[in-house]
Each structure stands twice: as C-alpha cells, then as structure tokens.
Structure 1
Amino acid sequence: MPYNYRLSEEAESDVYESYVWYEKQKEGLGEEFLDALDAAEQAIAGNPKTYRARYKKKVRAFVVDRFPYLVLYVINGNDIAVISVFNTNQHPGRWKERVQ
C-alpha cells in the first residue's frame, strides 16, 4: 500500500532550523543533512511499521544516518505524519507535547 508522507509545520521548522545550523558550521553540510532526511523518508515510506513504536506505542522513530536525529512519526491508515525531526541532544519534552 502506498503511504502519504507529510511533515507537520513543527517538523518543517525543525528541518529548516537544523539545515541553517549545519550550513553555518560548514557549507554543504546542510545539504548533506537534507539528503539524509530524504533517505529517511524513502525508508519510512517503504515500510513504516518496521521501526519501533515508542511513546505510548503510538510514535515510531527512525534513526537518521550520520546525524544525531530521529524522525518521529505516527501512522494513521496510509498516512505517515511526521511530528518531529528531533535532535537527540535536546530535551525530549519538545516533541512529546506534539503527540497529545
């Protein structure tokens, strides 16, 4: 079954802020971050139930290659709703409020 993969506004903001931060660290690193997120999207959309459900057995997490991030998402029918692109160096409360 094909899945619809969508980022919430909050997740889009997470991506943008992280992209800008990585580009400031080294030109081109932000693009590499976006490439890693594209690969994450392909993996998740290909088989979203593969990745472990965590918070209240509702939110699943995909570990992004090379960067300290999790893509946190919820499956609802054939929709994949990304609620956060979470920097694992941050406090988890930042994304948990998005679940409720």
Structure 2
Amino acid sequence: MKNFKLVIKSNAQLDLKENINWYNQQKKGLGKTFYSYVKKKAKQLQNYPYSAENRYLEIRTAVVEKFPYMLHYIVDYNNKTIIILAVLHTSKNPDTNYIK
C-alpha cells in the first residue's frame, strides 16, 4: 500500500508534548524514548492505515509499543491521509470532543 500522509491535530500535538514532559520528569531521556515509539507507530500507520482496531465510529486506536498510550486517528482514504486526533493514556476515557 502506498504511504499515507500524516497530519497531527493541535490537540494531539498538545497531548504529545504533555506526555513527553511528564516522562522526562520521571526519568531523563524517557520522553525522547516515548516520542520515538510514537513516531514508530505513526510510521507504521502510514504504511498500514487499517491495521489498528476501528473503535469509535470511524476512529481507530493504535497501541504505542512499550507505553500505555494509544493513538486515536482517522483514515481519510480519498486524500491518502492519516489524521491523529489524540495521544491518550489507556486508562483515560476518551472524550469525543477531540473530533473537531
């Protein structure tokens, strides 16, 4: 399958920044490790956009390896784009307000 473009919505960018900062407070460099696993998962989704579970209507969730986080995203097949809506801890109840 041809690579899809990747778009990270502002809410997801904020989630990512907050999560990286939190991990860095726990242990120096851990935020960088977290970010590398998020990037790895996003790259996988670009190559295999339908590989993750369809969870809420058209929203799919993909587990970030080694961390208790999920990427919440939609696939825009017509524009060949993956749109990441949120980067949430698995214990959080997703708020559908991030679908904007």
- Report the Cα offset of residue 52 of structure 1: 1.4
Q: SS of 2:87's equivalent?
A: strand
2:81 paired with 1:79: yes
Q: SS of 1:49's equivalent?
A: coil
- Report the Cα offset of residue 2 of structure 1: 2.5
Aligned-residue Cα RMSD (Å) equals 1.1
- Report the Cα offset of residue 91 of structure 1: 2.5
5+ residue gaps, structure 1, are none
Q: Calculate the TM-score normalised by the size of structure 1.
A: 0.91
5+ residue gaps, structure 2, are none
Higher strand share: 2
One-letter amino acid of the counterpart of residue 19, structure 1: I
Per-residue deviation, residues 13-67 of structure 1 (Å, max 9, x unmatched): 00000000000000010000011011101111111011111101x0011100111
- Identical columns (%): 26
2:43 paired with 1:42: yes
Q: SS of 2:53's equivalent?
A: coil
Aligned counterpart, 1:91: 93
Higher helix share: 1
Distance 2:24 2:14 in 1: 15
